[in-house]
Amino acid sequence: MIIYPAIDIKGGRCVRLTQGRADAETVYAEDPALVAEQFKGAGSAWVHVVDLDGAFTGEPKNLDVVERILKVGLKVQLGGGLRTRATVDRALTLGVTRVVIGTRAAESEGFISELVAAYGEKIAVGIDAKGGKVAVKGWVDTTEVTALGMARRMDALGVRTLIHTDVGTDGMLTGPNLGAQEAMLNSVESGVIASGGVSVREDIVRLCDLARIHQNLDGVIVGKALYEGRVNLQDLLRLAQL
């Protein structure tokens, strides 16, 4: 299982939002690239980056910051505002390893089919769930589409990686919604990256146990718990390799 330390960018800075609310922002660093260097120093091979301005506005706003993060030498998984072929092309041309499509995936299966045909495993779909329903546009709107229904459709389209975020636990430091994650794992053959709620080391232990049962649990995204010093990245990386 891969640990994906997270960097959320808003206004060029490294921030975290509570449950995705723009009015619940905490700034952790002025330069996200320095945070990426710390992650690399701890032994991470990946970083999960979200352009929050892009998620809210519909087009990437912080690609210059992403470029600086790329120079650190980590594999970058990038989401936020990637809703056209042109923006996806641009991100991948910069050197991003995997792009995450969220809002547009909920709107257009044809768009995802086109991207999968062109880029294969470089395309991931983000499924952000509020009460089991898909949330879009930076989690501002909630659709009537169920998270599991969307996951099955993306799986059928050949999407290799799904990022399943439980919005209710994101940034709350209350522990992941293991029941929702297991339901997702049971519903698809695609690899699943769990996101939301990790607060202590034991949460990663439980997710590692889940990964032994469900081989399609490919990883977990860890954000606020790292920034608040509740978990140690080196320790989590060791746990995930056991």
- Residue 84's contacts (CB-CB under 8 Å, 6 or more residues apart) are 59, 104
- Residue 117's contacts (CB-CB under 8 Å, 6 or more residues apart) are none
Query: Hey, which residues are catalytic here?
Result: 8, 128
Q: What are the angstrom distances between the C-alpha of 13 and each of 6, 46, 54, 61, 188?
A: 13, 19, 13, 12, 35
Of 172, 166, 175, whose CA–CA distance to 224 is shortest?
A: 172
> What residue has token string 């505002």?
81
CA distance 77 to 90: 14
Q: In the beta sheet, which residues pair with residue 10?
A: 13
Contact predicate 235/213, CB 8 Å: no
